[in-house]
Chain A
Amino acid sequence: MTANNIVMIGVSTGGPIALKRLFADLPPLNAALVIVLHIPTGMDYRIARSLGDLASMPVTLAEDGEYLHSGRIYLAPGGYHLTLEGNSRIILTEGPRVNFVQPSVDVAMQSLLKPLRRKRIIGVILTGMGKDGAEGVRHIKAIGGVNIAQDQESSAIYGMPKAALETGSVDFVFPPDKIGQKLVELLSGPANNLSEG
């Protein structure tokens, strides 16, 4: 079954530990989860393998052309930008760095389209330097989605979550474990409470 709901997570330095905390107790979700972590080739598969060992959902490195499925976690590989075609198909492209990074959270989030009625888009910005993801959450809000940012206390570097918050497009601020609880809550309630649909 292709994904109905999408959770897109943008994260950088401090990310592996933050993701570990987020996924440690997270039950399978009725959504496809796409992680855009600033990592180089060679480290990406190690992170995917490690998250796969602890997450309740299968974790794979995203492959060009594959379709998203609910209940799965896709990690963007290093060295490419990840975008989604029609909110369902992964496209990996080379090209210039955006916000000094590749993959870029802004590039991935800005490829999301306004969801169909009763489908949900949730953006999550975790620890990291810089402001990658800020334009992404602004876009997600504009298409009717919901955004969550990591709190300052639990962030190794409070750069990306702060920049996201300053856009005024963030709905919730939590540490990683509480973000997991909020995802469960958001994805179990009626979708049209969240999306303009």
Chain B
Amino acid sequence: MDSRIMIVDDEDMIREAVEILLETEGMDIVTAAGGEECLRHLKSGFTGVILMDIMMPGMDGWDTIRKIVEQGLYEGNVIVMLTAMDTPDEKMEGLQEYVTDYITKPFNADNLLDSLRYYRSLLKTENDRA
């Protein structure tokens, strides 16, 4: 089964822009306006690639990843930071292993699509590959 993409960003314009880009590639998109909504999607069974913003009001991207790990919701997902922060802050320490990639905005659309195709391929099961 093809994995889905979740866009976690508090900015409507970013969510919409990324959604439009990925939909043209036929990718199945879920959006979340913040960490709480991201966790709700995961608890409802979402698996796939999570494009995570860092700076969000309330629970930021790092807090959200920490919750994902603590609540046992990581399995079957790839987390990619999609952020305006050039370099990550110290809150990333200890979460490195759960952050597969770090892409800064503004991003190159072709590079983002190439990366997402690769990360989706990582999530394919042996049955999918057969």
Residues of A whose CB lies within 8 Å of any CB of B are 12-17, 20, 38-40, 42-43, 46-47, 50, 78, 97, 100-102, 128-130, 156-159
- Once bound together, how far apart are the Cα atoms of A44 and B10, in whole Å? 31
Q: 1/0 per position for B33-58, CB-CB distance to A under 8 A? A: 00000000000000000000000000
Chain A residue numbers with a CB within 8 Å of B121 are 50
Max chain B CB contacts within 10 Å: which of A13, A43, A159?
A13
B101–A20 contact, CB under 8 A? no
Q: Which of the residues A20, A39, A130 comes within 8 Å of B118, measured between beta carbons?
A: A20
B100–A42 contact, CB under 8 A? no
Q: Which 6 A-B pairs have the closest CB atoms?
A: A38-B97, A100-B94, A38-B96, A156-B102, A46-B122, A100-B93
Q: Which of the residues A97, A129, A156 comes within 8 Å of B92, measured between beta carbons?
A: A129
Chain B's interface size range is 20 to 34
Chain A residue numbers with a CB within 8 Å of B101 are 13-14, 16-17, 156
Q: Which of the residues A14, A20, A78 comes within 8 Å of B97, measured between beta carbons?
A: A78
A50–B103 contact, CB under 8 A? no
Residues 87 to 127 of chain B near chain A (Cβ within 8 Å) = 87-88, 92-94, 96-103, 115, 118-119, 121-123
Nearest opposing residue in chain B for A127, CB measure: B102
A50–B122 contact, CB under 8 A? yes
- Once bound together, how far apart are the Cα atoms of A101 and B93, in whole Å? 9
Could you show 30 A-B contacts with beta carbons less than 8 Å apart? A12-B96, A13-B81, A13-B92, A13-B101, A15-B100, A16-B119, A16-B122, A20-B118, A40-B97, A40-B98, A42-B74, A42-B75, A43-B78, A43-B122, A47-B122, A50-B118, A97-B94, A100-B93, A100-B94, A100-B96, A101-B97, A129-B88, A129-B92, A129-B99, A129-B102, A156-B102, A156-B103, A157-B87, A157-B102, A158-B87
B115–A17 contact, CB under 8 A? yes
Chain A residue numbers with a CB within 8 Å of B123 are 46
Nearest opposing residue in chain A for B122, CB measure: A46
Q: How far is the CB of B81 from chain A (nearest CB, A)?
A: 8
Q: How far is the CB of A133 from chain B (nearest CB, A)?
A: 12
Further 10 A-B residue pairs, CB within 8 A, beyond A15-B100, A101-B97: A13-B96, A14-B102, A16-B101, A40-B74, A47-B122, A100-B96, A101-B94, A102-B97, A129-B93, A130-B93
- Once bound together, how far apart are the Cα atoms of A130 and B115, in whole Å? 23
- Once bound together, how far apart are the Cα atoms of A46 and B128, in whole Å? 13
Q: How far is the CB of B97 from chain A (nearest CB, A)?
A: 4
- Once bound together, how far apart are the Cα atoms of A15 and B122, in whole Å? 13
Max chain A CB contacts within 10 Å: which of B78, B101, B118, B119?
B101
Chain A residue numbers with a CB within 8 Å of B75 are 42
Max chain B CB contacts within 10 Å: which of A43, A50, A100, A102?
A43
B97–A39 contact, CB under 8 A? yes
